[in-house]
Amino acid sequence: MKELAPAKTLDGFFFDLARARTRLLVLDYDGTLAPFAMRREDAQLYPGVASLLETAMSRGTEIVFITGRPARELADRLPFSGIEIFGAHGYEHLAANGTLTQKSLPAPVEAALSKMDQMVVTSGYAYARERKHGTLAIHWRHEEAPTRRALKELGAQLQGQLTAGMQALPFDGGLEFRAIDHHKGTALANLLDRHPNAHVAYLGDDTTDEDAFAALPPEGLGVLVRPELRETQADIWLKPPEELRGFLSRWATLAPLPQPRRAY
């Protein structure tokens, strides 16, 4: 664990969180709560994490996920139901009641993504690509060096297809092309608009999580979760899984919030 922002300590955050009326825990999934697996469909939560999250929820914490995965795909992976999820880097929103909404894409961006997708398929690397609403990614994390090189070259060719309103974004083990109107930061800002007084932490591992760290309010806590520290806008760094479990355990064992009084 390392505190990265001189003015913000973990103890100080938890001191305030214990007294907050609304606790909001916003989470990335892959690489943050679930270690990378050879196949993306195999990525499971670190042992112990699910029960800590459940305890936190039962004691009044609101938990929301912001992921690069399609929202429904993540919903199917989670061991609890009725969780709000922003998917596809903010281009999708799955409400707790199961309603899915998608942000529309400008036509030129949609056309460019389709063309790039076709280029990947005709190059013979269809298996390495991931096409989602608003994004196209190629993954080389688990490839041998020659394939990795070939995919990086293909990535450079694809960059030539970018149109206005798009960007290429390297991540751990690949390259992603996406529309830029929405991202994890706009998703978090949208969420915070609905929870203006929440005491909030955001946990993420990747460069795409930096937008969310930047969107946190001054008293919020950005938590970088990854094996090695890197340049980041987060406030603290945790090394998974032990320090991650320690953080979630501390959160889960806070005294429960009073139940909201309901009007009938």
Which residues of the shown chain bind Mg ion in the complex (CB under 5 A)? 28, 30-31, 205-206
Q: Which is nearer to Mg ion, 28 or 143 (CB)?
A: 28
Structure tokens at 39: 């196949």
Q: Which is nearer to Mg ion, 143 or 206 (CB)?
A: 206
Q: Quick one: 177 or 202, whose CB is closer to Mg ion?
A: 202
Q: Which residue is nearest to Mg ion, using beta carbons? A: 31
Evaluate whether 93 touches 101 at the Cβ level (below 8 Å).
Answer: yes
CB of 32 to Mg ion, least distance (A): 5
Q: Which is nearer to Mg ion, 206 or 210 (by Cβ)? A: 206
Shortest distance, position 8 Cβ to Mg ion, whole Å? 22
In the complex with Mg ion, the residue whose CB is nearer, 163 or 207, is: 207
- Before 241, cis peptide (omega within 30)? yes
CA angle 108, 131, 230 (to 5 degrees): 100
Q: Could you tell me the smallest distance in angstroms from the CB atom of residue 203 to Mg ion?
A: 9
- What is the widest separation between alpha-carbon atoms in the chain? 65
Least Cβ distance, residue 232 to Mg ion (angstroms):
13
Q: Which of 46, 49, 1, 5 is nearest to 25 (CA)?
A: 49
Task: Map residue 30 onto helix, strand or coil.
Answer: strand
Of 109 and 222, nearer to Mg ion (C-beta) is 222
Q: How far apart are CA 110 and CA 104, in angstroms?
A: 9
- Residue 219 burial (CB count, 10 A): 14
In 3-state terms, what secondary structure has residue 247?
helix
C-beta of 204: minimal distance to Mg ion in Å? 6
Smallest gap from Cβ 235 to Mg ion, in A, equals 18
Say which DSSP state 240 is in.
T
